[in-house]
Amino acid sequence: MSASRDALLDRCFEVVRRHGFSHLSLREIAAEAGTSHRMLIYHFGSRDGLLAEVVGRMEAEQRALLADLVTGDADIFTVSAAFWAHLTSPEVLPAQRLFFEIYVQALYGREWTAAFRESVIRAWEEPLISLFRRAGADGDRARAHARLGLAVTRGLGLDLLMSGDRAEVDAAMTLFGELARRDLS
Amino acid sequence: MSASRDALLDRCFEVVRRHGFSHLSLREIAAEAGTSHRMLIYHFGSRDGLLAEVVGRMEAEQRALLADLVTGDADIFTVSAAFWAHLTSPEVLPAQRLFFEIYVQALYGREWTAAFRESVIRAWEEPLISLFRRAGADGDRARAHARLGLAVTRGLGLDLLMSGDRAEVDAAMTLFGELARRDLS
DNA sequence: ACGCGCATGTACCATCTGGTACATGATGCT
DNA sequence: AGCATCATGTACCAGATGGTACATGCGCGT
């Protein structure tokens, strides 16, 4: 794809990451990204087209993160801790709002979220299950642990975003780590 | 407050519960509720005013539910099970989308979500903590359990809404129940 | 019966929306 | 040098948006 298009998408992604999208018009996104709405239509076809690509960018980031984390022989506890530390770091945390904003649009069945809908649960399932298997859980239990761990991460992430109570949310995550560890050994 | 206004708000709440709000204009909400946008402005002042009242309605429902659940001498496990059963019942589950949609708008600091922002974490904290205390956890641990339990409920609720995998999500919730119970006895 | 306040309809407003038409500048390939 | 492709600007469109002005109905207390 063309370089200018990529650069444009980068900038739009940054804009959306910072401000969200649901209350931003095409023109506002364009202005914030330093271009005209005409250009966004030209490159992405429509507002939804642009949002679909932005979502794609976010998915790609998540996949990269996942690949980064499960590499090598790290166990589930190490991976979880690194994942949580990453998600709640000051640079990444604000971007989590965007994740949930997209999530909600996906729940309403918006077409441009199709790819997101496919990946948001499934992409994490297999890698997590195999990590839990390695930690000693059998089939169904590993699956339940995977699902639960992901839910805890997202639920506590939401709490942290809303409340800002980092210490208390971290304490809850630590508690969960204890509970899970106890079950697996 | 006037009866017609209340009835109108009821209907708007139903509309929003079913379809969400972020992609609905004032006129569309009005049409769906069987009135004119003129009337909504008249009664609620503005679109945001209407949304603020809708959010108030949702908060009231949640408070009523909470009061209903913690009544009497039920322990935390009974309460949690009842809460989860309620949230995931076929009538209530779709309305959860709305909860998360409001949540996201609150994360972006929309003014009409002020009341929601105040209550969404705090209203649940104290009652849950005292339930966990009764179950044998001391101060900080009870607090961490409360926070974690709420996060699990919301995280798994999100998962269920997205994936529809009721059996697997229920299994994860059951697993969490086991883990927590083991810690508390 | 009358008046008053709540409720409602009609018509309008400026502004913004996503999207298009058309012309023109750049940029590189042959 | 000339041509084609990509990129971009300007101007426009029909329709929708939140909100307002003004008139008018309807029902109740007196």
The Cα–Cα gap between A93 and A98 comes to 10
Amino acid type, B154: R
A132 DSSP 8-state letter? H
The Cα–Cα gap between A113 and A53 comes to 10
Each of the 185 residues of chain A gets a pLDDT tens digit; together they read: 688 899 999 999 999 999 999 999 999 999 999 999 999 999 999 999 999 999 999 999 999 999 999 887 899 999 999 999 999 999 999 999 999 999 999 999 999 999 999 999 899 999 999 999 999 999 999 999 999 999 999 999 999 999 999 999 999 999 999 999 999 98
- Of the residues B128, B148, B185, the best mutation for testing chain A's interface (the one with the most A CB atoms within 10 Å of its CB) is B148
Mean pLDDT of B54-75: 92
Instruction: Find the domain containing A177 and state its range.
Output: 56-184
Half-sphere exposure of B172 (CA within 13 A, CB side): 27
Residue B1's pLDDT is: 62
Asked whether residue B2 carries a pLDDT value surpassing 90, the answer given is no
Residues of A in contact with B173 (CB under 8 A): 148
A50 in a domain, yes or no? no
Let me know whether B29 and B72 are in one domain. Answer: no
Q: How many CB atoms lie within 10 A of CB B109?
A: 9
**Residue holding tokens 């998962």?**
B159
Task: For residue A148, give Cα distances in angstroms to A97, A128, B177.
Answer: 21, 11, 11
Let me know whether B70 and B110 are in one domain. Answer: yes
**Two structure tokens written together for A30:** 């364009």
Amino acid type, A148: L
A167 in a domain, yes or no? yes
**Two structure tokens written together for A65:** 């993160």
Contact assessment for residue B46 and residue B29, using Cβ atoms and an 8 Å cutoff: no
Let me know whether B176 and B102 are in one domain. Answer: yes
B51 in a domain, yes or no? no
A71 in a domain, yes or no? yes
Contact assessment for residue B150 and residue B127, using Cβ atoms and an 8 Å cutoff: no
Residue A72's pLDDT is: 79
Q: CA of B92 to nearest chain A CA: how many angstroms apart?
A: 15
**Two structure tokens written together for A51:** 């949002």
Residue B77 forms contact with A (CB below 8 Å): no
B2 in a domain, yes or no? yes
The CATH number linked to A26 is: 1.10.10.60
Nearest beta carbon to residue B108 from set A20, A155, A163: A20
Let me know whether A64 and A41 are in one domain. Answer: no
**Residue holding tokens 């229920």?**
B170
**Two structure tokens written together for B128:** 């849950």
Closest CA to B103 of B58, B149, B170, B144: B58
Percent of chain A with pLDDT over 90: 94
Let me know whether B172 and B87 are in one domain. Answer: yes
The domain tally of chain B equals: 2
A122 in a domain, yes or no? yes
DSSP SS3 for A33:
coil
Residue A172 contacts by C-beta under 8 Å, 6 or more apart in sequence?
A156, A159, B144, B145, B147, B148, B151
| Residue B71 banded pLDDT, cuts 50, 70, 90 | confident
Let me know whether B40 and B66 are in one domain. Answer: no
The Cα–Cα gap between B166 and A57 comes to 30
**Two structure tokens written together for B134:** 């009764």
Let me know whether B148 and B85 are in one domain. Answer: yes
Let me know whether A92 and A169 are in one domain. Answer: yes
Mind listing the pLDDT tens digit for each residue in A146-169? 999 999 999 999 999 999 999 999
Residue A73's pLDDT is: 85
Let me know whether A88 and A20 are in one domain. Answer: no
Kindly identify which residue of chain A lies nearest to residue B159, measuring between CA atoms: A151
The Cα–Cα gap between B133 and B151 comes to 18
Let me know whether B139 and B98 are in one domain. Answer: yes
A159 in a domain, yes or no? yes
**Two structure tokens written together for B11:** 């209907």
Cα-trace Rg, chain B: 18
**Two structure tokens written together for B116:** 């929601």
The Cα–Cα gap between A71 and A59 comes to 18
Let me know whether B63 and B123 are in one domain. Answer: yes
Closest CA to A150 of A170, A132, A137, A134: A132
B90 in a domain, yes or no? yes
Kindly identify which residue of chain A lies nearest to residue B169, measuring between CA atoms: A147
The Cα–Cα gap between A111 and A116 comes to 10
Nucleotides of D under 7 A from a protein CB: 6-11, 16-21
Let me know whether B30 and B65 are in one domain. Answer: no
Residue B185's pLDDT is: 85
Contact (CB<8Å) B158/A151: yes
